[in-house]
């Protein structure tokens, strides 16, 4: 989850894969340990007398094509200068394809958990929470109210899982249809307000050698799936696992595939290449998350909109997908053994001046910061969120991971006619366990509506 606005949900975003793709990128950055972020050793880089050195492992998704990679390396280097007695082993695994989720779940299940995990919250983070190996953050926040002030209260509240704050919120995300406005204007096409507007644009863009919608069925078709399901069934259908509207949503994707709406190599390219093609004006539309903003070069001519309701859908055009998707987990026993080295690391990473560096790239920060970027694209984000009537969690947060993986890995078979949408939904249903979020709806964690989850969106949308 991989950009510069500000609300609290992920991620997204974001946020995914099979262990065969897992590739750890180990960087060692040396840092120090001291008590509080502003203390003498931190400010000067000098080591306090008698201070012990520790090594901590930090697992994250900041690698590969992640747009925050450069910032991540920068802040690790900054941490090294301030805290030279803590050595950080940077274990990064790509989010694409579920590689990260597979690695982290395996690490926690096998007793190889890292000291610090920057990962997904909600249902995706459920195995970490249920492991009993990570702290809950309430006590730390109470002990350090000045640090606690860095977080938006709604972000903290909405990040609770099973009533507790296991994941300290960092980023949220939302999903929609990215639009290259200049390509629409050049071809005298209106920015889509209805599904028919999208259909009308397809032959026009194809005639110009431009992919109407660029995507990767190979790596991350998640966003297509949940966006089309929401557009087909509205928030009620989207919230009801394996609702009949899910079949309709998948069939609409197949219909678009059949008429050539996607890039010809959509079954083979990676997600990062799909984003690059949109950024380089080789595609008119791209369905994805707010984390992709970090790669956008032309902020004057790029916007994000909702996918209009499908025919015969009860979707409200103001229904969107979003979540507080990513944050920090701290392994209890290792943190105690290493005298709070993990706590010091996370407290440093959640300072407003550090978040400034991330916010300048993009994302939806859960931490107050001072960055303000005012471009047409950022304004479209504000408009997108302000008009939202409901904020619906990504499907990866509402069904178990086996079912979710079955869905996204099977979509290519549906669009190519090797299986039906009904068969894929049934396969996903068979892999579902009996545990569903709350009562099977998306209303846990206060995401039934944006207004109830975020009563002060005006504050959260400041740049």
CATH number of the CATH domain containing 96: 3.40.190.10
* 98/332 Cα distance (integer angstroms): 25
Residues 180 and 20: beta-carbon distance below 8 Å: no
Stretch among 231-235, 308-312, 399-403, 441-445 having the lowest mean pLDDT: 441-445
Beta bridge partners of 87: 30, 55
Chain centroid, CA 402 distance in Å: 19
- Contacts within 8 Å (CB) and 24+ apart, 185-194: 191/303, 191/305, 192/305, 192/308, 193/308, 194/308
Name the least confident of 21-25, 29-33, 183-187.
21-25
Q: Is residue 285 part of a domain?
A: no
Which of helix, strand or coil describes residue 78? helix
pLDDT, tens digit, 9 for 90 and up, residues 81-134:
999 999 999 999 988 767 898 899 999 999 999 999 999 888 788 899 999 999
Asked if residue 70 belongs to a domain, the reply is yes
Structural domain tally of the chain?
Answer: 1
Residue 55 resides in a domain: yes
Q: How much is the pLDDT for 369?
A: 80
Q: What is the pLDDT of residue 47?
A: 43
| Start-to-end C-alpha separation, the chain | 19
27-58 residues labelled b (16+ CB within 10 A) or e (exposed): eebbbbbbbebeeebbeeeebeeebebbebbb
What value does the mean pLDDT take over residues 268-289? Answer: 96
- Look at residue 45 and tell me whether its pLDDT is greater than 70: no
Q: What percent of the chain has pLDDT over 90?
A: 59
Question: How many residues appear in the chain?
Answer: 463
Residue 242 included in any domain: no
Cα gap 30→32, rounded to integer Å: 7
What pLDDT does residue 51 have? 65
Q: Tens of pLDDT along 68-85?
A: 899 999 999 999 999 999
Residues spanned by the domain of 352: 19-174+323-365
pTM listed for this prediction = 0.70
Kind of pairing, strands 211-214 and 283-289?
Answer: parallel
**pLDDT at 59 exceeding the cut of 50:** yes
Evaluate whether residue 384 is within a structural domain: no
Strand partners, 301: none
Q: Is the pLDDT of residue 328 over 60?
A: yes
pLDDT digits (tens, 9 = 90+) for 388-427: 888 888 888 788 878 998 999 999 999 999 999 999 999 9
Nearest-5° angle of CA 158, CA 159, CA 163? 90
| Residue 385 forms part of a structural domain | no
**Residue partners of 297: CB distance under 8 A and separation at least 6:** 279
| Residue 353 within any structural domain of the chain | yes
Q: Model confidence at 37, in pLDDT bands (50, 70, 90)?
A: very low
Please give the pLDDT value at position 11: 32
- Whole-number Å distance between alpha carbons of 51 and 39: 13
- Cα–Cα dist 384/306, whole Å: 8
DSSP string covering 372-423, please? ----HHHHHHHHHHHT-SEEE--GGGTS-HHHHHHHHHHHHHHHTTSS-HHH
CB atoms closer than 10 angstroms to residue 192 = 21
**Is the residue at 336 inside a domain?**
yes
Label residue 345 left, alpha or beta by phi (over 0 means left) and psi (-120 to 50 means alpha). alpha
User: Could you give the residue ranges of the DSSP H alpha helices within 83-163?
Assistant: 99-110, 126-130, 138-143, 145-148, 153-158
Q: Are 383 and 90 in contact (CB under 8 A)?
A: no
Give the lowest-confidence range in 12-26, 98-112, 326-340: 12-26
pLDDT at position 374 is: 77
431 pLDDT exceeds 70? yes
């Amino acid at each position: 989850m991989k950009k510069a606005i500000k609300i609290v949900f992920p991620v997204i975003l974001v946020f995914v894969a099979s262990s065969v793709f897992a590739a750890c990128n180990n960087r060692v950055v040396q840092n120090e340990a001291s008590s509080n972020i502003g203390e003498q050793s931190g400010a000067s880089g000098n080591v306090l007398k008698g201070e012990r050195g520790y090594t901590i492992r930090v697992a994250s998704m900041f690698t590969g094509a992640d747009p925050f990679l450069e910032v991540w390396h920068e802040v690790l280097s900054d941490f090294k200068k301030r805290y030279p007695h803590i050595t950080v082993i940077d274990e990064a695994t790509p989010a694409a394809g579920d590689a990260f989720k597979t690695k982290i779940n395996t690490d926690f299940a096998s007793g190889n958990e890292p000291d610090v995990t920057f990962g997904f919250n909600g249902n995706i983070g459920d195995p970490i929470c249920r492991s009993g190996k990570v702290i809950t953050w309430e006590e730390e926040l109470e002990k350090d109210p000045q640090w606690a002030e860095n977080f938006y209260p709604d972000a903290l509240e909405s990040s609770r899982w099973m009533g507790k704050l296991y994941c300290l919120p960092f980023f949220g995300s939302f999903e929609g249809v990215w639009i290259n406005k200049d390509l629409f204007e050049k071809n005298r096409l209106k920015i889509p307000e209805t599904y028919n507007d999208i259909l009308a644009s397809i032959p026009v863009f194809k005639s110009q050698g431009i992919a109407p919608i660029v995507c990767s069925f190979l790596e991350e078709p998640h966003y297509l799936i949940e966006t089309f399901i929401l557009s087909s069934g509205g928030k009620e259908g989207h919230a009801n696992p394996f609702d009949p509207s899910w079949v309709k949503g998948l069939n609409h994707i197949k219909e678009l595939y059949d008429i050539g709406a996607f890039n010809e190599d959509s079954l083979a390219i990676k997600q990062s290449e799909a984003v690059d093609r949109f950024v380089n004006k080789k595609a008119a539309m791209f369905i994805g998350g707010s984390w992709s903003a970090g790669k956008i070069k032309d902020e004057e001519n790029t916007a994000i909109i909702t996918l209009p309701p499908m025919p015969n859908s009860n979707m409200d055009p103001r229904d969107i997908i979003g979540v507080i998707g990513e944050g920090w987990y701290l392994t209890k026993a290792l943190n105690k053994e290493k005298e709070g080295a993990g706590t010091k690391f996370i407290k440093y990473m959640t300072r407003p001046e550090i978040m400034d560096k991330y916010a300048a790239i993009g994302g939806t920060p859960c931490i107050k910061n001072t960055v303000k970027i005012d471009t047409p694209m950022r304004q479209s984000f504000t408009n997108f969120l302000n008009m939202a009537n409901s904020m619906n969690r990504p499907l990866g947060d509402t069904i178990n991971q086996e079912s979710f993986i079955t869905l996204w890995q099977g979509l290519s078979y549906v669009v190519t006619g090797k299986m039906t949408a009904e068969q894929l939904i049934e396969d996903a249903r068979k892999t579902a366990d009996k545990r569903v979020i709350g009562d099977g709806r998306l209303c846990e964690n206060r995401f039934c509506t944006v207004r109830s989850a975020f009563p002060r969106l005006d504050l959260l949308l400041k740049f």
